[in-house]
Homo-oligomer: A and B are copies of this chain.
Amino acid sequence: MQPHSKIILIGLGNVGRAVINQLQASDMNLEIIALADRTGCLVGQPLSTDLINLAVQSKATGQKLADLPEAQPLTNLEKSFTTNTIVVDTTATRDLDWKVALQKGCSLVFANKNAHSAPWLLASHLFNQPNVRYESTVGAGLPIIASLRSQVASGDQITRIEGVMSGTLGYLCSQLEAGVSYYQAIKQAFEAGYTEPDPRDDLSGFDVLRKALILARTAGWALEESDFTVEPLYDERLVGMPVSEFFNLTSLLDKTYAQRVEGAAQEGRVLRYMATITPHGGNIGLQAVERTSPLGSLQGPGNYFAIYSQRYNQIPLVIAGPGAGIEVTANGVLNDIIALLS
């Protein structure tokens, strides 16, 4: 056992708060020594359970950490960075720089995808490091990163990764397949809270691209965004206008996607929004796959990852399941913490 026993948690959104709950419910004997959001931080040696619970409740009801009388300025957080500390980033910000934490000997756990999907020059120091974990950045709690790392560490050569990595677009594909119009499917996904506030942020494929980049780099391939071709699930007619207007125009694409679904169905196929990643680059977009294939049997928001390698060269290693959700995402963070403790 390494002497990790302290946790610093940055970000107290849904996932951050679920991490705290899961830590408290587990029998791991870990001390939370700091909590932070974008407005301030709480620091203690360790923080009392009462103060942690107060912070969780405040954030759950929309307050800022800075509203608590015990809050300190964010600049005080750095003092808590020590060698036996795990710093957990559950934010969605691009503004954090983890160099100081690493220099001070902290371990890092990321649910935030931004650091690992940044240009390689900025991101490379976060890959292939035993003290940096990022399971929840791809496929939520599914052990896809852990499995890839394990394969690489044991000397296997990854040759290709295929996957369905967006629960939102998976849901959309299932709805289109069921005969729902493009317009209705997007509206339903939006209303169910499955999409970003602007659904084009999902439909662009950019979120899938970031995940594909993280997988590629974990497999040992120093790819950049420009090494991928990405097919967005909308066209130029829906670019540029405000969200409200976008919704009104989506029915322009009803026929296009209905025809693609129909064309696939005539060949016994269904559409899936897939990423295919090789050492030299990747493709992201709609693919028509056989209805009776494992990918064809995938339903709704499920994620699916297939790893082909020197050792898994005929039948791939497949990991599938929910690729989004607060509890499973927090669970991925916990699994990373456990891996760092062992």
Contact = CB atoms under 8 A, between A and B. Distances in A.
Interface of A: 22, 25-27, 130, 141-143, 146-147, 150-151, 153-156, 291-294, 296-298, 300-302, 311-312, 314-322, 327-328, 331, 334-335, 338-339, 342
Contacts of A334: 154-155
A27 B155 CA distance: 8
Given A297-B294, A311-B327, A338-B154, A317 B142 contact: yes
A342 B342 CA distance: 7
B302 A297 contact: no
Contact of A321 (B26, B318, B335, B342): B318
The 7 closest A-B pairs by CB, nearest first: A26-B155, A154-B334, A318-B320, A317-B321, A315-B322, A297-B297, A294-B297
20 contacts: A25-B155, A26-B154, A143-B317, A143-B319, A146-B146, A150-B339, A156-B331, A291-B292, A293-B297, A294-B297, A294-B320, A296-B297, A302-B315, A311-B327, A312-B322, A315-B321, A317-B320, A318-B321, A319-B320, A339-B342
Nearest to A340: B342
A298 B315 CA distance: 11
Contacts of A130: 342
Given A146-B143, A312-B321, A154 B331 contact: yes
A312 B302 CA distance: 12
Interface centre among A141, A315, A334 (most CB of B within 10 A): A315
A321 B331 CA distance: 24
A296 B290 CA distance: 13
Given A322-B315, A334-B154, A294 B294 contact: yes
Nearest to A293: B297
A293 B294 CA distance: 8
Contacts of A26: 153-155
Contacts of A22: 154-155
Contact of A297 (B156, B292, B314, B317): B292
A341 to B, nearest CB: 9
Contacts of A297: 292-294, 296-297
